[in-house]
Chains A and B, each alone.
Chain A
Amino acid sequence: RKEVEQDPGPFNVPEGATVAFNCTYSNSASQSFFWYRQDCRKEPKLLMSVYSSGNEDGRFTAQLNRASQYISLLIRDSKLSDSATYLCVVNLRGGGADGLTFGKGTHLIIQP
């Protein structure tokens, strides 16, 4: 089973719409979960951490389902500037100095 798996897309979504992505991870002992966004040929930038109870930051909502080992990201009222690749990122082994495991990313295109 792939360690962190995402639908690569692309998702073509009209401006103002709501879009959701899912991601699955392989290790049930994983402790830390994040969504990063990456623009073309740029560095990954933290969008939000994902907490067990779910969390919201403006138009963005993240959920964690430990039983099913998946993470979701919901974007409401999408903007043209939301066009990017969204990376599901997990600390699979749960250690403080562990490297992060990245999914391949989901490509989102917001259309005017």
Chain B
Amino acid sequence: EPEVTQTPSHQVTQMGQEVILRCVPISNHLYFYWYRQILGQKVEFLVSFYNNEISEKSEIFDDQFSVERPDGSNFTLKIRSTKLEDSAMYFCASSDVLGGYSNQPQHFGDGTRLSIL
């Protein structure tokens, strides 16, 4: 069964440094997403991406964050000047066309645990 893959599985970074989290969505999917989950809290939406541009972003996704699809397979999340509160599990997800209207679910990768020291 096709799956979303994420690298690295764990990233440890000093506060103030930049970090790039990488994702390979399911190959025939067109919508891509990033979520985060702070330890002990609920999963929170960050951003959605379609047709090489951001479709929607949450209040969490401020100027510190950016996303990119540098080639036909990778989807990246960049966090500039990381803060202690950025420590969380970051999940990438992808879905087939028109996720909301056709009830197509989003499929999640196994996440990158980001630890900011």
Contact = CB atoms under 8 A, between A and B. Distances in A.
A45 interface: yes
A94 B100 contact: yes
B97 A96 contact: yes
B100 A95 contact: yes
Contacts of A9: none
A96 B100 contact: yes
A33 B42 CA distance: 17
A97 B56 contact: yes
Q: How large is the interface on B (under 10, 10 to 19, 20 to 34, 35 or more residues)?
A: 20 to 34
Is the contact region of chain A dominated by helix, strand, or loop, or is it mixed?
loop
B45 A100 contact: yes
B110 A99 contact: no
A42 B111 CA distance: 8
B107 A32 contact: no
B75 interface: no
B100 A98 contact: yes
Contacts of A102: 42-44
Interface in B65-117: 89, 91, 97-101, 103, 105-111
A43 B101 contact: no
B101 A44 contact: no
21 contacts: A33-B103, A38-B43, A41-B89, A43-B91, A43-B108, A45-B108, A49-B105, A91-B99, A94-B100, A94-B101, A95-B56, A96-B97, A97-B48, A97-B99, A98-B100, A99-B33, A99-B46, A99-B58, A101-B45, A103-B42, A105-B42
Closest 5 CB pairs of A and B: A99-B45, A97-B55, A96-B98, A102-B43, A43-B108
Interface of A: 31-34, 38, 41-46, 49, 51, 87, 91, 93-105
